[in-house]
A and B are shown apart, each in its own frame.
Chain A
Amino acid sequence: MALVDPSERLRCGTKLAALITQVAEGAPAADPAHQAECPYCQPSLGRMRELWSDVRALADEPVRAPLGLLDEVMARVGGPAGFVTLRDATRGHTQVSVAVLAGVARRVAQALPAVAFASVLAHAAGPGTVALRVRLVVAYGPSLPVLAAAVREQIVTHVRRLTDVQVTEIELSVDDLAAPDT
């Protein structure tokens, strides 16, 4: 660009960066009096305004999600990731939905007296394995590290016993304390 020297200043000394910011971000002019008269600033500003009006036109282009995107995504997340295939496949494969595993884990957690409410998300971690995200609302009183260890222990044991799926990881958060009467 002919108007620009290598130090990115116009020949009048104005920083190109300042002009760009002015046009692109709508920032106030650093030196409006100079700018209005300057034979270097004016054409540069003109070019930038044209370019940014195009940039804004491009930004305003409507973008529609492609048809079927949601269906494709749901089909994929409901497919392999939505089920855990059990490793024992002597007479055909058995698949257990992650929703079932999450449900088992939730009931096990809620069966503990100190747990008022549990919510569990499960996702398949590999053949025969599942990773869990457990959120708890707990009663006031018990030590939380002890409670967390108990929740993990119970979930791993029961999920294993009921479904033969191994729990590889339990991300656990204690989200709230239960109100005294619950």
Chain B
Amino acid sequence: MLGSKVDAEDAAQEALVQAWRALSTFRGESAFSTWLYRIVTNRCLKARAARRPMEALPDVLIDSDSDPAEAVAQSERLHALARGVVALPAEQRAALVLRELEGLSYEQIAQALGVTVPAVKGRIHRARLGLLKASATWR
């Protein structure tokens, strides 16, 4: 979501503190996890908006059970993919990350982002298309 481990740790901490303080406003209208996703996502989007554009530095990605050459190749592909995700517009990226990486349903994503389900579907579709087009340059 943020493309940087340090920023992600800051965002996680800020979001948990915020969630703790806002706990009394949680009204049980959505699942607790969805509520928390909403706080974390908003925190990330705010952090991104406040920051100048920067190069993405994904955390080291290693697949330990394949052979070394394949592991290096995969690691490079995953880095490129992570950069591709970070390069997406923030709204698309948030929806895509919640869907593909966190495995949320469209309904849950709509609640987390505060938009409608069709809007979520549109964003995810555009994000996937963007990734697919970008992937042509790194494969």
Interfacial chain B residues near A58, Cβ < 8 Å: 61, 78, 81-82, 85, 100-101
**B78 touching A123 by the CB < 8 A rule?**
no
Is A32 at the interface (CB under 8 A from chain B)? no
Q: Would A77 and B17 count as touching, CB distance under 8 A?
A: yes
Binds A, one of B18-26, B34-42, B48-56, B107-115: B18-26
- Given A58-B78, A59-B101, A121-B24, check contact A65 B12 (CB 8 Å): yes
Known: A20-B132, A66-B12. A73 touches B78 (CB 8 A): no
- For B82, B85, B100, B102, which residue has the most chain A Cβ atoms within 10 angstroms? B100
How many inter-chain residue pairs (CB < 8 Å) link A and B?
80
The contact string, 1 if C-beta is below 8 Å from chain A, for chain B 71-103, is 000100110011001000000000000001111
Interface size class of A (residues with CB under 8 A): 20 to 34
Report the minimal beta-carbon distance from B12 to chain A, rounded to whole angstroms: 6
Among B100, B125, B136, the residue within 8 A (CB) of A17 is B125
Interface centre among B21, B100, B132, by most A CB within 10 Å? Answer: B132
Tell me if B43 counts as interface (CB < 8 A to partner A): no
Complex: A121 Cα to B85 Cα, angstroms:
40
Whether A73 and B16, one on each chain, are in contact in the complex, defined by CB atoms closer than 8 angstroms, is yes
Q: Is B128 an interface residue (CB 8 A)?
A: yes
Task: Report the separation of the CA atoms of residues A2 and B139 in the bound assembly, to the nearest whole angstrom.
Answer: 13
A-B contact pairs, 6 of them (CB 8 A): A17-B129, A20-B125, A51-B132, A54-B78, A69-B9, A123-B21
Q: Can you add 9 more A-B contacts, CB < 8 Å, to A58-B61, A81-B20?
A: A2-B136, A4-B133, A20-B128, A47-B139, A54-B78, A55-B100, A59-B102, A171-B24, A171-B25
